[in-house]
Amino acid sequence: MKSRILHYLITLIFSVGIYGASGLVQKEFELKQVCPQILGIPACYIIMACLLIPLIVHVFDLSYKIYFAGTGLALLIAAYGTIGNFIGFAECPKTNGGIPMCYISFLLFFILIILKWMSIRITNA
């Protein structure tokens, strides 16, 4: 029962993340230079891939290693952006309320990693 609740909670959090990131991806696609770049690729595109791929892996119960690779990469990118935004060497896009999106991404991916870890522990117990 607990693992089923965690499964749906993880899916819901991915859905919220995809919904939130889609607006930024659309702006980047239309306007360019909205998102910071990583190796010439807009970070928001990478974050969107790190939402979609682990979601597919999660829904179809595929390798948790792929799940953690995707969410872990996104967490590292969000951590870099969060630290950079906080210290001042990077600037994250902001929500309409003025909250840097890298802060939200960091929290979202941190929660996704913790919830999946909990789900695996419960399933294997």
pLDDT in tens, 67-91: 999 999 999 999 999 999 999 988 8
Range of the domain at 53: 2-124
| Mean pLDDT value of segment 55-60 | 97
pLDDT score recorded for residue 41? 95
pLDDT score recorded for residue 15? 98
pLDDT score recorded for residue 111? 98
| Mean pLDDT value of segment 4-31 | 96
The pLDDT confidence band at residue 3, using thresholds 50, 70 and 90, is: confident
Considering the entire predicted model, what is its pTM? 0.94
| Mean pLDDT value of segment 15-19 | 97
pLDDT score recorded for residue 124? 86
| Mean pLDDT value of segment 2-6 | 90
Which element (helix H / strand E) includes 42? strand 41-42
CA distance 113 to 119: 10
Q: Rounded to the nearest 10 degrees, how much is the dihedral formed by the CA atoms of 59, 47, 65, 57?
A: 20
Residue 89 in tokens: 């060497």
CA distance 93 to 57: 28
As for how many domains the chain has, the answer is 1
Residue 123 scores a pLDDT above 90: no
The pLDDT confidence band at residue 1, using thresholds 50, 70 and 90, is: confident
Of all residues in the chain, the percent with pLDDT exceeding 70 is 99
Residue in 77, 2, 88, 65 with CA at minimum distance from that of residue 41: 77
First-to-last C-alpha distance (Å) of the chain:
13
Give the length of the chain.
125
